[in-house]
């Protein structure tokens, strides 16, 4: 018997609630001082690391695999299929996935082309990249070189469905090359780790900072000495909204 494909709405619901399970597992491990490696979580679900990466990035979960994951995590059958609105436990995740910073938009080919001031048709074809025989630097004007086509969308965006462009406001990250008005490429499917540049939400306010996470201490570090570190205090809510993978700067 041919199985009917998973509907897009159900696929999104399962993927979002799968992330709830991953976050809960990770936090429980970190709280007890254990390592929280994604490969270990994948193994607990009966998945390979590559399978987990695919489903985390948005590959639809079939019903059989969904039931397998629910059983492995101690959830009742059908839990992954419940709309987020039907469960108070899913409210924080709904906020995480649906609330976006001001001046943000999906990282579509059109949006990236416009951000770089490039004709979308040329963007779709791919831009020319000069291949130089030199080891470093630019090709010599007199040197022979080949031209290859480069897809900048593929270069800048790893997971299109989970990636947004976010406009930066302020100069707190200027020393790492992020300036007021830049566009950040933010991937919400990546797990943030120590040293990542992230977009975070602190008490409902968005900020872009470097994530420090060592010896039980979590804080947000600016890349500008004129701005203070942000160390969440008791009663404050800090959430990592996404990991910054690239920044887009226009010079003219």
How would you label 211-245 residue by residue, b for 16+ Cβ within 10 Å and e otherwise? Answer: bbeeeeebebbbbeeebeebeeeeeeebebbbbbb
Question: Is 246 among the residues known to form the active site?
Answer: no
Question: Is 100 among the residues known to form the active site?
Answer: no
Task: Check if the beta carbon of residue 35 is closer than 8 Å to that of residue 29.
Answer: yes
Distance in angstroms (rounded) separating the CA atoms of residues 192 and 200: 10
Check 56, 104, 188, 209 and give the catalytic one. Answer: 209
Q: Where are the alpha helices (DSSP H) in the chain?
A: 8-31, 38-44, 49-56, 63-72, 91-98, 109-116, 120-125, 152-156
Check 172, 188, 210, 246 and give the catalytic one. Answer: 172
Residues tagged active-site: 172, 209
């Amino acid at each position: 018997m041919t199985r009917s494909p998973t509907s897009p709405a159900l696929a999104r619901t399962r993927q979002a609630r799968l992330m709830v399970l991953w976050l809960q597992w990770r936090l429980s491990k970190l709280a007890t001082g254990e390592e929280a490696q994604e490969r270990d979580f994948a193994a607990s679900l009966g998945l390979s690391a590559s399978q987990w990466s695919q489903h985390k990035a948005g590959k639809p979960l079939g019903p059989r695999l969904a039931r397998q994951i629910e059983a492995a995590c101690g959830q009742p059958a059908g839990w992954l299929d419940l709309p987020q609105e039907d469960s108070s436990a899913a409210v924080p995740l709904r906020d995480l996935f649906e609330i976006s910073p001001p001046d943000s938009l999906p990282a579509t080919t059109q949006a990236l082309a416009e951000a770089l001031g490039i004709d979308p048709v040329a963007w779709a074809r791919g831009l020319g990249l000069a291949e130089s025989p030199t080891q470093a630097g630019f090709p010599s004007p007199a040197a022979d070189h080949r031209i290859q086509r480069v897809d900048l969308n593929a270069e800048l965006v790893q997971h299109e469905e989970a990636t947004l462009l976010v406009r930066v406001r302020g100069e707190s990250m200027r020393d790492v090359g992020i300036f007021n008005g830049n566009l950040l490429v933010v991937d919400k499917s990546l797990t943030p780790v120590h040293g990542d540049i992230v977009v975070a939400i602190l008490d409902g306010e968005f900020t872009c900072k470097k994530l420090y996470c060592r010896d039980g201490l979590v804080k947000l570090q600016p890349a500008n000495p004129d701005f203070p570190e942000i160390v969440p205090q008791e009663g404050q809510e800090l959430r990592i909204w996404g990991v910054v993978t690239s920044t887009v700067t226009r010079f003219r």
